[in-house]
Amino acid sequence: MDNIVDQTERDKDFSAVQNQLESFIAARQSLVLATHAAQGECEMGVASFVHVDGALAVLLSGLAAHTRHLEREPRAQVMLLEDEVETRQPYARLRMSVHCDVTRLAREDERSDVIFELMQARFGSIVPLLRGLNDFHVFILAPRHGRFVAGFGKAYRLEELCVVEHLRG
């Protein structure tokens, strides 16, 4: 994924694809989260999220394996998928996968308050209940690079959450 994009590719206008990506992210409520155990095995799970300041914020329990993994190694991979009900062709299913740096916010961090408010607006009355449990913490997943697939022949390389290159076979 660390290939160099030539200047002609950078000069292309990806605004329509970027808008599609942003709409896609806004329409999703959960993400697939992949973390690494100390033994190198991959652990996958699902978490509800909010998109804020170019990052994805999740609320995870200290009892979850993901939390222990992220505290040991603050990196993860995240995938967003188009709902199967909306998918006309499974092979062309819309999806985004990004590698992220992860930061756990302290409960007293004012950014945690903002995230809890956004989550409550999006997910309702369950959020204050979870916030009241001391083992739940906000994690910020800051995308570094990844890929957005918008259909056949429509795969794009991402830097952070910005479309920068049309990938070709």
Which CATH number belongs to the domain containing residue 133 in this structure? 2.30.110.10
Split into its structural domains, the chain has a count of 1
Instruction: Return the closest-CA partner of residue 33 out of 5, 83, 70.
Output: 70
pLDDT of residue 21: 98
Q: What is the pLDDT of residues 79-130, one digit of tens each?
A: 999 999 988 888 889 999 999 999 999 988 999 999 999 999 999 999 988 9
**φ, ψ for residue 155 (rounded to 5)?**
-105, 135
Assess if residue 75 is contained within a domain.
yes
What is the pTM for the complete model shown?
0.88
The answer as to whether 24 is a domain residue is no
Domain that holds residue 67: 30-167
* Distances 90 to 82, 96, 149 between C-alpha atoms, Å: 10, 14, 12
Tell me whether strands 136-149 and 55-61 are parallel, antiparallel or unpaired.
Answer: antiparallel
pLDDT band at 2 (very low <50, low <70, confident <90, very high): very low
Residue 62 in domain: yes
Look at residue 6 in the predicted model and tell me its pLDDT.
46
Residue 149 reports pLDDT greater than 70: yes
